[in-house]
Structure 1
Amino acid sequence: MRTEQQRGPGRLDEQPRTRWVDQAAFSRRRPDLRLGARSHRLDRPGDSPGGRIAVQHSVRTGTAEYSLLLNAPEDLGRRAVGDALRDAVAELRAIDLTYGPNRPESLVSRLRRGEISPESYPPLTDLVDRCAAMRAATDGWFDAWAVPGGFDPGGLLNGWAVERAATRLRAAGITDYAVLSGADLTVRGHAAHGGPWRVAVHHPTDGRRAPLVLEMTAGAVGTSGVSGRQGHVVDPHTGEPARQLVAATVVGPDLAVADAYATALYAAGPVGLSWFRTDSAYQALFAHRRR
């Protein structure tokens, strides 16, 4: 599958590229990344070709665990690669502290209490604008304002954090990377073996099924419903926990948007599949009904 240049609520600085891989061909090649069940898993990296620096690092913030895989040119230098990694990790930690809706002094909490406006800080403005765009794009099924206590961007906050960390990597000259959180990821460029990132997306509840297999050089996968928490997504129209699906997974250019679409699809159920036209930059991979 090759997707078109993104239009609408998301943003991207290069065209997404994702293609399905034949199962027989995939069985002869080890995946770089596995998504599914309740978390991600990293297979041991393969040999890095000459002239490249391959780095793998994991970090946990107050609300999430992240993994970063970098494949940088050797002439960038190990010190610069290390600085880029630290900068990306610092961004993830800062977003957790500054925007976490469960932190009383975060900007989101202060916004909910009416102490500041969305225009007070440019990143907060961007976060609020993205939530508003996704509310419109999903016919109100993603609604950051339809939650107890007021504005809560949690449905896309993790994806937004990952994309901002990825922006830090690109600014430092690293264009080949993968950043993962739970069952979500964003990738660009190539893996350490020199080819596209090989991503196995496993069925969220049936471990016996063969995974969907993607080769990606640009794009993201967002998932809702595999965290193990009951009632973590609510129907914004009724306030009741969403119960139609066991999981929803969406692929597209930007992880914040894919995350929001997955959250909305999980809440809406099959009716949400109408958002994903054949020419859309975002597509649903999983939308499984409860039995």
Structure 2
Amino acid sequence: MRRTSRVEQIMGFPVSFDIRDPIPGAAVDWAVEWLREVDLRFSPFRPDSEVSRFGRGEVRLDELSEDLLDVLEVGARYEARTGGAFRVWPPGRAFDPSAVVKGWAVQRAAEILEMAGARNFCLNAGGDVVVRGGPEPGKAWRIGVRHPDLADTVCAVFEVMDGAVATSATYERGAHIVDGRTGLPASELISVTVIAADLTVADTTATAAFAMGTAGITWAAAEPGCEVLAVDAERVVYRSPGLGMR
């Protein structure tokens, strides 16, 4: 099986491509270009980005790009589902749709690879992963989840052939996830991992569950097509009944 491997630093984290099919050499370039474009347009840390300009009131809602409107629609859907715990514009804070943008953008990058003919690949963006097929015929991709306390240790390994895995946690960026109902950092959980068919769903659901606190575990596990592994602040581990892991 022909293999293409590449790692790029985009949006502040490494993005790795592991493709096991013969595809046009430009396909990965297209995916990387898309992710860099998203970083330029949607980063809340760039004062000239569309996100920053909208947050400052310099761009009206009817002037936004179709892509940002799509992101806002996803954010509004999860805000409604979580009773306001998940928000792209939390009370007393700046507009920041990053919790939607990362999974949404990487899912689009995976679709670029599929359109180019990739059927067996792993796209890993800072620990959030989209996979298709397997590394070898008949074998699934093995996706490790970092232990919340031990940086060089995994606490679980999932075998996935067609799907996405996303984790929201405090171990990389501290208490950065806000409960939109209070405007305060969410503190009841330290790690939530969600497996779903789509990384937009997996990533947004993981962040939303984290924002909800321990109630978010049951909520996320009830979301269609989602399986959940979570660790609370007391280091109690929860897993949904259908979750397969080693």
Structure 1 residue aligned with 2:225: 281
Shift of 1:227: 4.5
Task: Work out whether 1:219 is the aligned partner of 2:166.
Answer: no
Structure 2 residue aligned with 1:195: 139
Q: What is the identity percentage for the equivalent residue pairs of Structure 1 and Structure 2?
A: 36
Task: Work out whether 1:229 is the aligned partner of 2:178.
Answer: no
Structure 1 residue aligned with 2:31: 88
Equivalent position to 1:205, from 146, 149, 157: 149
Task: Work out whether 1:181 is the aligned partner of 2:125.
Answer: yes
Equivalent position to 2:8, from 53, 59, 63: 59
Task: Work out whether 1:111 is the aligned partner of 2:54.
Answer: yes
Secondary structure at 1:165 match in 2? helix
Q: What TM-score results when the alignment is normalised by the length of structure 2? A: 0.85
CA displacement 1:99-144 (0-9 Å, x = unmatched): 1111111111121122324453111111111111111222222111
Unaligned runs of 5+ in 1: 1-51
Shift in alpha-carbon separation, 1:170–1:274, aligned structure 2, 3 A: same
Whether contact under 8 Å (1:223, 1:249) holds in the other structure is yes
Equivalent position to 2:20, from 67, 71, 95: 71
What is the alpha-carbon root mean square deviation over aligned residues? 2.3
Partner Cα separation in structure 1 for residue 223 and residue 191 of structure 2: 23
Q: What TM-score results when the alignment is normalised by the length of structure 1? A: 0.73
Whether contact under 8 Å (1:183, 1:226) holds in the other structure is no
Secondary structure at 1:230 match in 2? coil
Structure 2 residue aligned with 1:145: 89
Shift in alpha-carbon separation, 1:227–1:60, aligned structure 2, 3 A: farther
Where relative contact order (Cα < 8 A, 6+ residues apart) is larger, the structure is: 1
Partner Cα separation in structure 2 for residue 288 and residue 251 of structure 1: 18
Secondary structure at 1:93 match in 2? helix
Unaligned runs of 5+ in 2: 236-246
Structure 2 residue aligned with 1:265: 209
Partner Cα separation in structure 2 for residue 212 and residue 238 of structure 1: 32
Give the number of equivalent residue pairs.
234
Secondary structure at 2:29 match in 1? helix
